[in-house]
C-alpha cells in the first residue's frame, strides 16, 4: 500500500510541476466558460422573446415550457464531453511514454513493485489530475444553482457521468502511453481513439439490425446522453466501466510484458 501511495505522490508531483496540467486545466475552464456563457446567453434571449410573446398572447403557461435543464444543462454536459475528448490526451500522453524516454521505467521495473501496483499507483495519480476537470464542471453548475432553480437530479447524474467519462478516458490514455516511447505519438493515438469512439455511431442511422446496434453500443456520446438528461441506464455504466477495465488491463499487460522482449 505504501508503495502505491509513493507512486501516486510522485505522479501528482510530476504532473503539477509540469506546465501541461496547468495549461489543460486553464483551457478547460476557459472553453467550458465560453460554452456556458453562450448557452446561458441564448437561453436568456429566448426567455426574453418568449416573455414578450406570452404577454401579447396573455398566456403565462408558454414560459413554463422553457426548461433550464433541457436547454442549458444537458447542452452544457454534452459540450463538456467534447472538451474531455480533446483535453484528456494531453494529460495522459506523458504518463508512461516519458518514463520510457527518460529511462525511469528501468527504476520502476526493477523495484519490488508488481505491474498491478505500478498501474494502480500511476493511474490513481493521473486520475487525480484529470479529476480536476470535473471540479471545473462543478464550478459552472454551481453558478446555475446559485442564480437559477434547475432540477437537482440531472445535475447529479451529469456530474457522475462526467466522472465516469474522465475515469474511463484517463485509463485508455494511460494504456496508450504504455505502448510507446513518444509523448506525441501517445497523444495523437489517444485522441484518434477518443474521436473514433465519439463519431463511431454517425453512420448508425443509415444502417440497421446488428450493425446499427453494434455501432451504437460503442458510441461514447450515446452512452453519455442518459447521464446528461438524468436518465441513466445500467448499460451506460457498464460501458464506461468496461472502457476503464480494458484500459487498465492493457496498461498492466504492456508493463508486465516489457521484461520479456
Summarize as ranges the residues that interact with another protein (CB under 8 A): 2-3, 5-7, 9-10, 13-14, 17-18, 102-114, 259-261
Q: How far is the CB of 102 from another protein (least distance, A)?
A: 7
In angstroms, the CA 258 to CA 256 distance is: 6
According to DSSP, residue 135 is labeled H
Coarse DSSP helix, strand, coil percentages of the chain, rounded to the nearest 5 percent: 85, 0, 15
> Considering only CA atoms, which of 177, 197, 178, 199 is closest in space to residue 188?
177
| Contacting residues for 33 by C-beta, under 8 A, at least 6 apart | 140
* Buried/exposed code over 74-109 (b: 16+ C-beta within 10 A; e: otherwise): bbbbbbbbebbbbbbbbbbbbbbbbbbeeeebeebe
Read off the C-alpha cell for 248: 487498465
State how far the Cα of 111 lies from the Cα of 3, in Å rounded to an integer: 10
Q: Would you say 8 or 137 has its CB closer to another protein?
A: 8
Please report how close the Cβ of residue 181 comes to another protein at its closest, in angstroms.
13
Instruction: For another protein, give the closer residue by CB, 181 or 216.
Output: 181
Between residues 65 and 261, which has the closer beta carbon with respect to another protein?
Answer: 261
Nearer to another protein, 108 or 129 (CB): 108
Q: Which is nearer to another protein, 110 or 206 (CB)?
A: 110
Instruction: State the nearest-atom distance from the C-beta of 137 to another protein, in Å.
Output: 28
Q: How far is the CB of 142 from another protein (least distance, A)?
A: 33
Q: How far is the CB of 125 from another protein (least distance, A)?
A: 12
Amino acid at each position: 500500500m505504501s508503495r502505491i501511495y509513493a507512486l501516486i505522490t510522485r505522479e501528482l508531483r510530476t504532473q503539477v510541476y509540469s506546465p501541461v496540467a496547468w495549461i489543460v486545466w486553464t483551457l478547460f475552464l476557459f472553453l467550458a466558460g465560453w460554452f456556458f456563457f453562450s448557452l446561458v446567453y441564448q437561453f436568456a434571449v429566448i426567455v426574453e422573446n418568449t416573455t414578450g410573446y406570452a404577454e401579447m398572447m396573455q398566456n403565462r403557461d408558454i414560459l413554463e415550457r422553457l426548461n433550464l435543464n433541457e436547454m442549458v444543462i444537458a447542452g452544457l454536459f454534452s459540450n463538456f464531453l467534447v472538451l474531455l475528448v480533446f483535453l484528456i490526451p494531453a494529460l495522459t500522453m506523458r504518463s508512461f511514454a516519458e518514463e520510457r524516454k527518460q529511462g525511469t521505467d528501468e527504476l520502476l521495473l526493477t523495484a519490488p513493485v508488481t505491474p498491478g501496483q505500478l498501474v494502480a499507483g500511476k493511474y490513481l495519480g493521473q486520475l487525480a489530475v484529470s479529476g480536476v476537470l470535473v471540479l471545473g464542471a462543478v464550478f459552472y453548475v454551481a453558478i446555475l444553482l446559485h442564480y437559477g432553480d434547475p432540477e437537482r437530479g440531472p445535475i447529479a447524474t451529469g456530474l457522475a457521468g462526467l466522472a465516469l467519462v474522465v475515469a474511463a478516458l484517463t485509463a485508455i490514455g494511460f494504456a496508450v502511453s504504455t505502448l510507446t516511447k513518444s509523448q506525441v505519438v501517445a497523444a495523437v493515438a489517444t485522441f484518434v481513439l477518443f474521436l473514433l469512439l465519439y463519431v463511431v455511431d454517425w453512420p448508425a442511422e443509415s444502417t440497421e439490425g446488428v450493425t446499427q446496434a453494434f455501432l451504437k453500443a460503442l458510441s461514447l456520446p450515446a452512452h453519455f446522453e442518459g447521464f446528461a438528461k438524468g436518465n441513466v441506464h445500467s448499460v451506460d455504466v457498464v460501458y464506461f466501466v468496461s472502457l476503464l477495465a480494458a484500459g487498465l488491463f492493457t496498461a498492466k499487460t504492456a508493463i508486465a510484458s516489457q521484461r520479456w522482449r
